[in-house]
Amino acid sequence: MRVRTEARREAIVEAATELFKEMGYERASMNELAKRLGGSKSTLYGYFSSKEELFVAVVEAVATGHLLDATQELAAEVAHGKPTLEARLGRFGERMLGVLTHDESALAVYRMVVAEAGRSDVGQLFYDSGPAAAMAALTGLMAAAMDRGELRRSDPKVAAAHFTALVMAETDMRLFQRNPPPLSLKEIRRMVGRGVEMFMRGAAQS
């Protein structure tokens, strides 16, 4: 009986990341991955039951894993009601932009998802791997802020979508650039600060 190890799993995810970046989701196959790793498909299926499950593992490792801590932090803050709303939104926004603006693999995965979402389920797989939970937590934060009178009453889910769009507005162009330079933490904080300010101007209770 073969023993599964975390090191082997990480090696598979790392190799799969390069395969998906090179070939895209649709063209990548477990056969090709096994060939590159020098093993068998049965070994791969011992760790991942399908290409879809493997893709989710890759996405979580390089593109959405950072959202887990941010989501848990938001959920805790909704429950306890502190610190200030602007500070909570700012921290969440910095987490959102951090990986996308620094990690080449994360940016490559985002590009692949955008390119292939119209012809496969890759977009939904990506969304379910992290962004869905993050948006749910952010929606909860918006709803709680509306209940406290900090934000005008509206659809909290729409408010969450508007906030994320504002925070990412200055970095969206990076998806279309060949080799965008990394952003410093200072630059990220300035971008997020402008997004938070714009959101609060439009949504705060007057």
Which residue in 165, 162, 132 sits closest to 123, CA to CA? 132
Residues 130, 28 within the same domain: no
Residues 17, 105 within the same domain: no
Residues 112, 132 within the same domain: yes
pLDDT, residue 15, reads: 94
pLDDT, residue 12, reads: 94
pLDDT, residue 77, reads: 63
Which residue in 139, 153, 145, 188 sits closest to 167, CA to CA? 188
Structure tokens at 86: 């602007």
CATH number of the domain that 10 lies in?
Answer: 1.10.10.60
pLDDT, residue 206, reads: 67
**Structural domain range at position 196:** 60-203
Residues 17, 101 within the same domain: no
Q: What's the pLDDT tens digit per position in 24-64?
A: 888 999 999 999 998 888 889 999 999 999 998 988 888 77
Tens of pLDDT, residue by residue, the chain (206 residues): 355 788 889 999 999 999 998 898 889 999 999 999 988 888 899 999 999 999 989 888 887 776 777 777 777 766 666 678 999 899 889 888 876 666 777 888 888 888 888 888 888 888 888 888 889 989 999 998 999 899 999 999 999 999 999 999 998 888 888 888 888 889 999 999 999 999 999 988 76
State the chain's mean pLDDT as an integer: 86
Distance CA 167, CA 81 (A): 22
Residues 17, 98 within the same domain: no
Sign of CA dihedral 192, 196, 202, 203: positive
pLDDT, residue 1, reads: 39
Count of domains in the chain? 2
Q: Which long-range contacts (CB under 8 A, 24 or more apart) does 144-147 make?
A: 144/78, 144/81, 145/85
pLDDT, residue 37, reads: 92
